[in-house]
Structures are given as structure tokens and as C-alpha cells.
Amino acid sequence: MRSDPTIFSLQKHNHVCVKFCVSFLLVGLAFGLLLRDSFSFSSVIQTSTPIAKEKTESSVFPFPIEVSNSFDVPGNNQNQTSQNDLVTEKCDIFVGEWVPDKSGPIYTNESCHEIQHHQNCMKNGRADIGYLYWRWRPRKCEIPKFNPKKFLLLMRNKSWAFIGDSISRNHVQSLLCILSQVEPAVEIYHDKEYRSKIWKFPSHNFTLSVIWAPFLIEAAMFEDKTGITSSDIHLHLDKLDNKWTNQYNNFDYVVISGGKWFLKTAIYHENNTVTGCHYCPGKNLTEQGFEYAYRKALQQVFNFFANSNHRATVFFRTTTPDHFENGEWFSGGYCNRTVPFKEGEVDMIDADSIMRGIELEEFEKVLSLSSVKSVNLKLMDTTLLSLLRPDGHPGPYMQFQPFAKDKKGKVQNDCLHWCLPGPIDSWNDMVMEMLVNGSQ
């Protein structure tokens, strides 16, 4: 049979149309899938990116950095998420972990001339340097490294003071080392024992002081530079140490701290009368304990700030834990670990836990007063993050080449202060973060 050309032409046309429709549908389906995947990827990126910064003013550090939590894309084919649907949470910069950091510190023990010999761990012979390559990472945000140029620009014509014990001096030395990368400091004052000092950064007219006041309150101490005590310490629990209170009005910023010295044997005075003591057997005095004295001292300190007409910004730093193992500093204790602890691997000793508890309680008590009077008081809670760094102390390298004569010899260890460079440098990262973002 001969085929009909018209019918053949029509069938061919219909077949082409069907193929065209199918191809069109497949392209459309593929395009739809691409759009859906693209939207899903965009949603994932948005979930992990900070979306807002809230500006608030508070008398206490408000932990201002905000990050978005994960959220679900609304249904019903909606392609946008309302800002009100996002859940944000403030970041506590003092809760987190130590993570490896290949960049290391921004200064060395050779580039900084303010490091005391007993914190110059590398010069004294410490061979491992792994402790230099960690940084603190908060759980829900990132803290940039301290920017010395930016800090000095912000501090033009300003004055800072660090008030406390040798850990405060250790902190100041860290700050000086960092700032020296931009401008060397010029020492313009020191006391007889070289415990209190003042430095000047001439091109920025910036003054930095460290004031030796280990108890923060009035104390009669009979101790030489080596720590040998010839008589009991006498503490006046109702009087502040005027070495720092008389200078307070000169400062724009203050970092103040206390703690360890209250564990020493001491006789307590109130209203010019002996009221008790801490660890004074055989003296026929009431044992009141270091807890009583430390609480009274902090009450005096916080009330002073709350009632002062001078409006400095005050950072109160919590107590610093030590890492002595198998003894104390005087009984063969040592710290030979080379990596940080992870959260949950170590507990604070009772004394440190008690001190930090008192600090947080008394700080909370003064908040109502300080908020009314606009005192800019900030909590710098470095205790827990410092607890995780047993590797950052001088240990036996508080002295030069401690094992040069005897590799197995027993030497005194320093498991309280910090090597420079070292973990204490991160405290300045936090100061910078609180300073720059503290009002947001």
C-alpha cells in the first residue's frame, strides 16, 4: 500500500511536538531543582553568619557579640525569613576552648625588653615551644588578636593602671610586649623595690602604670623579695590601700584583681582592733579564714568604685588558678604538661573555687549600686580559661638553665605566673574585645 504523504507529515509533526514538550518539561524540572538547591545552600550560609549587633549600654560587660542560631526555612514555598524569626544569642567570651594557632604570638622574647628573667622561659632553656601556638576561641564567636596600633590610637591622651599582685605585673608585661611592636614604652618611674612602675608612650601621650597592692586593702607586710617572711602580715579589713586609692582619679581605665595573697598567715584588724586571723595557731585568736577577709576586702573595693565621683572604666579580673602537681611551690610541686586541658579534664582546687565564688557574689551585689550611679564596672572572668593552660607556666625555667649541672636535679617550679610570650597574652585580646565592643 502507498502511504499517504499528508498523514505521514502530520504524524512526524506530532512526534516533534511531543519531543519538544518533554524536553521543555525536563529543562524546567532541572531548573527548579537548581533553584531549590541554591536556596538551601544560601540558607545554610546565612545560618552560620552573624546577622546583627545590638547596641546597649550597661554598667557591666554585656558580652555584645551576637550570632544567629540555626533556624528553619518557613514552609508554604516562602523564600524569605523575617528578621523577627531569627533567634540570636549573646556570646560569652570567657566560655570556650583552646585551639591550635599556627600564627603564634605577635612578639618574641627577643623583641620585647620588658620580660623579667623568671618569665623568659625560652631564654632560660625551655626547649618545647608548643605552648606558644594556641589561641582562645569562645564557644559562639571569634575574638580577633589584639591590635596594638588600634589600641594606642584609642588610648591617645589616656591613662591605664593595673592594680594588684605579681600576676597584674605579669599582665602588664604582656601588654607592654604587644604594644612595643608599634611604639616602645619609656619607663618614667619605679618604686624602691621595682614593684610599682609607670611607662609612657610619648607619641600617643599614653600612660601605663602597675601598682603593687597584693591585698588591695591596707596591709603591714614583712617580706623580702624572695618571699621570706620575718613576721605575720597584719590586714586592716576596713581600710583600702591608699597606694592606689590616692591615684585613682588620675586613671581613665583600671584593671584590678586580688586573691592568692589572702592564703597567707595574717592577723585581721577592724576598727583598729584585732578581730581574728587566718592560720595562726598558738596565738589565741579566732580563726576567721581567708574567705572572711577576701570578702570584706572586695566589699571595700567595690563600694569605693560605686561611691567615687570619678568615672573610670574598671575591669575586675577574677582569681588566677595555679597548676602545681604533687606538691606546692615550697614542697616539690611541679608543672610539666605540654598541652592545654580540654573542658572537663581538670577541676579547680578548693581555695580557687572559693575565691572565684566570693568574687562573683560580691560583683553581683554591687551591680545595682553601680548601675544607678553609672559606674562602668566590667567583669573579666579569666579563671576558667586559665585553668585549662597548665602548659604555659615557667615551671623549672623560672631560672636560667635549671638542669645544666644535674638533669635529674630537683629545682623549684613556678606554676602560677606565665611565660612571656604565653597564654596570658590572650587576656589582652579580651581586654581589647571588651574595650572596643563593650558598649555595643
- HSE-up of residue 245 (Cα within 13 Å, Cβ side): 17
- The answer to whether residues 251 and 311 touch, using CB atoms and an 8 Å cutoff, is no
DSSP string, 89-108: EE--TTSEEEEE-TT--SS-
Distance CA 70, CA 91 (A): 15
Provide the β-strand partners of residue 325.
334
- If DSSP codes are grouped into helix, strand and coil, which group holds residue 86? coil
406 catalytic, yes or no? no
Query: Pick the catalytic residue: 166, 168, 174, 257?
Result: 166
* φ, ψ (nearest 5 deg) of residue 90: -70, 150
- The answer to whether residues 162 and 210 touch, using CB atoms and an 8 Å cutoff, is yes
Q: Which of 217, 216, 215, 197 is nearest to 207 (CA)?
A: 197
Query: How many residues in total does the chain contain?
Result: 440
117 catalytic, yes or no? no
- The answer to whether residues 401 and 342 touch, using CB atoms and an 8 Å cutoff, is no
417 catalytic, yes or no? yes
- Which residues, 6+ apart, have CB-to-CB distance to 124 below 8 Å? 117, 118, 394, 397, 398, 399, 400, 401, 402
- What CA dihedral angle connects 210, 278, 356 and 132, to 10 degrees? 50
Query: Pick the catalytic residue: 352, 414, 425, 429?
Result: 414
SS3 of the chain: helix, strand, coil, percent, to 5:
35, 20, 45
Q: b vs e for 324-347, b when ≥16 Cβ sit within 10 Å of the residue's Cβ?
A: beeeebeeebbbebeebbeeeeee
Side chain identity at 232, as an amino acid letter? D
List the strands of the sheet with 376-380, edge to edge.
Answer: 186-190, 197-201, 206-212, 159-164, 253-256, 313-317, 376-380
- Please state the separation of Cα 178 from the chain's center in Å: 15
CA dihedral sign of residues 260, 262, 263, 264: positive
Query: Pick the catalytic residue: 236, 323, 393, 417?
Result: 417
DSSP 191: -
Distance CA 181, CA 35 (A): 50
Residue positions annotated with a catalytic role: 166, 414, 417
